[in-house]
Amino acid sequence: MPKHFESLESFSKEELQTFLFRAAVLKGESKRGIRHCQLQGKTVGLVFEKPSTRTRVSFEAAMYGLAGQVIFLSARDTQLARSEPLKDMARVMSRYVDGMVVRTYGQDVVVELARYSTVPVINALTDLHHPCQVLSDVMTVMECRKNLDRLKIAWVGDGNNMANSWIQAASILGFELALACPEGYGPDADILERAKASAARPISLHTSAEEAVAGADVINTDVWASMGQEKEQEERLKVFSPFQVNAQLLAKAPDDVVILHCLPAHRGEEITEEVLESRQCVAFDQAENKMHMHKAILELLLTAGRENA
């Protein structure tokens, strides 16, 4: 059975730490000009049903950076768009490629592909999770602050796919997470409940952004309307306005608070231009780290069990 990356819950704390450690090593080596060829002869298929800049390019660059290759498939150009069953797609793709990276709407699509695929399936964003993004964001936090387990991370805004993956990261890796979301726009209730039940540090849900950022080491936000929610954009602009990450909110947090945004950002909505462009904001380090983290994920999943082959 291949190891799939459906959500952060697919892994133990030690496994997530291995990804984090390996990504940092690969980043350091590539900065020193060391060339890698761990995935020579391997091919990954990217199947994307939603737009992407960072995730697509960073997975492709990661694969080429490890001497592998990629085949990009826009899902609408495949037979999936004409209702070919996912179980057939998974078994066919498994005969051609060594791994699949999938961006889609339903988490059930990733789960179904993983069920039938004989090669690793990696979640590159669904409506429910964005696990590879959050893992690379944790890497970025660790570059700014040591001792993850002593940190308080605040999530301000929509209880979306990113929020759900942050909840799982907090629970598994053991840091404090305070989420502030408007009522009715909180994270997935099951994910939150499960995570709280096994968390070593507090995971709390608030309706006040000021409350969540008090004493926080990191403030994290994301768009108010995710891909697929475009029709709700206008309504959401009204509901979310008290949740903007701006200078007034930063004044309620410690002076050296780090600002995260996975990008793309809507300046003037969830974050102001001033905060996004401030010295405290590490959004472009996050974007870079996606490539290093994706190298670590691809390397570890695509070579798993090779020593026993």
Residues at the interface with ligand NVA (CB under 6 A): 125, 130, 160-162, 222-223, 226-227, 262
Taking the least distance from each CB to ligand CP, the nearer of 171 and 289 is 289
Taking the least distance from each CB to ligand NVA, the nearer of 90 and 179 is 179
Using the 8-state DSSP alphabet, how is residue 2 labeled?
P
Contact in structure between 134 and 16 (CB atoms under 8 Å)? no
Residue type, 26: L
Taking the least distance from each CB to ligand CP, the nearer of 70 and 125 is 125
222-255: buried (b, 16+ CB within 10 Å) or exposed (e) per residue? Answer: bbbbbbeeeeeeeebeebbeebbbeeebbebbee
133 binds ligand CP (CB under 6 A): yes
Please state the separation of Cα 23 from the chain's center in Å: 14
User: What SS3 state is found at 120?
Assistant: coil
The residue number with the shortest CB distance to ligand CP is 55
Task: Say which residues have a Cβ less than 8 Å from residue 57's Cβ, sequence separation at least 6.
Answer: none
Taking the least distance from each CB to ligand NVA, the nearer of 171 and 226 is 226
263 binds ligand CP (CB under 6 A): yes
Pick one of ligand CP, ligand NVA, none as the site partner of residue 160 (Cβ within 5 to 8 A by kind). Answer: ligand NVA
Contact in structure between 36 and 153 (CB atoms under 8 Å)? no
Pick one of ligand NVA, ligand CP, none as the site partner of residue 47 (Cβ within 5 to 8 A by kind). Answer: none
Taking the least distance from each CB to ligand CP, the nearer of 205 and 224 is 224
198 CB neighbour count, 10 Å cutoff: 10
Instruction: With CA atoms as reference, report the closest residue to 250 among 224, 282, 220.
Output: 220
Q: Quote the least distance from Cβ 104 to ligand NVA, whole Å.
A: 11
For residue 264, whether the previous peptide bond is cis, meaning omega lies within 30 degrees of 0, is yes
Q: Crossing angle of helices 161-173/189-198, nearest 10°?
A: 10
Q: Quote the least distance from Cβ 52 to ligand CP, whole Å.
A: 3
Q: Quote the least distance from Cβ 110 to ligand CP, whole Å.
A: 15
Contact in structure between 219 and 213 (CB atoms under 8 Å)? yes
Q: Quote the least distance from Cβ 127 to ligand CP, whole Å.
A: 13
User: How many whole angstroms separate alpha carbon 55 and alpha carbon 124?
Assistant: 7
Q: Quote the least distance from Cβ 133 to ligand CP, whole Å.
A: 5
Pick one of ligand CP, ligand NVA, none as the site partner of residue 53 (Cβ within 5 to 8 A by kind). Answer: ligand CP
- Contacting ligand CP within 51-70 (CB under 6 A): 52-55
User: How many whole angstroms separate alpha carbon 46 and alpha carbon 41?
Assistant: 16
Taking the least distance from each CB to ligand NVA, the nearer of 90 and 297 is 297
- Contacting ligand CP within 13-52 (CB under 6 A): 52
Contact in structure between 51 and 81 (CB atoms under 8 Å)? no
Q: Quote the least distance from Cβ 261 to ligand CP, whole Å.
A: 9
Q: Give the x/- contact pattern for ligand CP in 85-124, rule: CB under 6 A.
A: ----------------------------------------
Query: Which stretches of the chain bind ligand CP, using CB under 6 A?
Result: 52-55, 125, 133, 262-263
